Structure 1
Amino acid sequence: MSQVLKAHVALNTPHFEESVRFYRAFLGLEPVKLKPGYAKFDVAEPPLNLTLNASTTSCLGALNHLGIQVASTEAVEEAKRRVEAAGLATWEERNTDCCYALQDKIWVTDPNGYRWEVFVVKAVTGEEGRGKGNTAKTCCAA
């Protein structure tokens, strides 16, 4: 395979305008392309091509959650400050065992119910873990 430039995630949304506002705040970016029913966010770090596609149904399918791995707890905290300053609700997990790793993370949910985590892997562990307060297997991004 040739060099991968960035991952692409396309999300269907019955809440298009709300979703554009959410991802502007969550990513701290304006869409590089905004058309009726279509928005594209071109994220440099981490490399990501995220598109929003208007849909009459949520079409969530089997998607569990999405995540952005960062290099430090400080980067997780910075993301939390930025997201909360934009008026978005977050919840936080510190020193949580998740997917055989010790992690610090925040979670945020978009208007369609897609859950995003911003996380740092602090250490590899021998326990699968499921994160604090999660009854379903919701972590496993490490």
Structure 2
Amino acid sequence: MSAKVHLHMHVSDLAKSREFYEKFLGGDPVKVKPGYVKFLPEWAPVNLALSTGGHIGAGTIDHVGVQVESVETVMTELARVKAAGLAVMEEMGVNCCHANQDKFWVKDPDGVEWEVYHLNYDLEGDEEERNRRPNRLAMLGTTASACCGGSSSS
């Protein structure tokens, strides 16, 4: 098995979150127990566990990004997520976090944002960052002040 990042997130409504992540990650959970579900998506190097309780949602984590190996993967996952009926915000060819990227964003039921992106190239000089995050977040129902998350770049 290849390496995966493990994320364990507390959610306010396990059923709603399970439904969202089934659509976003493209499959059923690999483990379901009372108050707990776990996903191991084939396309993303993540081991995602969800459980009830604890600190929840936006503010506990700024955002989670999945960097993929090609623009084609971004587009394939974007089409799948759209077909599943999730609200998405697309950013293609955007300069953000000192790199040019093709990406899309979704937001889970507790407000945690996920980006799926391909890094096209690093920006080496003082190129102007195109700060489109406030527009993206407004479309998804929240606000922020930086392209890479929160009020600081990552």
2:129 alignment partner in structure 1? 129
Please tell me whether the aligned partners of residues 91 and 104 of structure 2 are also in contact (alpha carbons under 8 angstroms): yes
Give the deviation of 1:47 after TM superposition.
2.2
Specify the SS of the correspondent of 1:43. Answer: coil
Specify the SS of the correspondent of 2:48. Answer: strand
2:81 alignment partner in structure 1? 83
AA at the equivalent of 2:72: E
Give the deviation of 1:85 after TM superposition.
0.7
Q: State how many pairs are aligned.
A: 139
Superposition TM-score, scaled by structure 2 size: 0.80
After TM superposition, the structure 1 stretch with the greater mean CA deviation from structure 2, 98-107 or 70-79, is 70-79
Q: Does 1:111 align with 2:109?
A: yes
What percent of counterpart residues are identical? 41
Distance of 2:49 and 2:131 partners within structure 1? 28
Give the deviation of 1:128 after TM superposition.
7.5
Q: 2:44 aligns with which of 43, 46, 53?
A: 46
Distance of 2:130 and 2:91 partners within structure 1? 11
Give the deviation of 1:105 after TM superposition.
0.5
Distance of 1:106 and 1:89 partners within structure 2? 10
Distance of 1:61 and 1:111 partners within structure 2? 14
Give the deviation of 1:79 after TM superposition.
1.0
Q: CA RMSD in A?
A: 2.3
AA at the equivalent of 2:37: A
Q: 1:42-73 CA deviation, whole Å, 9 max, x = no partner?
A: 23443211000112762544411001111222
Uncovered stretches (5+) of structure 2, i.e. residues with no partner: 135-143
Specify the SS of the correspondent of 2:109. Answer: coil
Map 1:1-142 → 2, pairs under 5 A: 5-55=3-53, 58=56, 60-125=58-123, 126=125, 127=127, 129=129, 131-134=131-134, 135-139=144-148
Give the deviation of 1:94 after TM superposition.
1.2
Distance of 2:89 and 2:57 partners within structure 1? 25
Distance of 2:78 and 2:26 partners within structure 1? 12
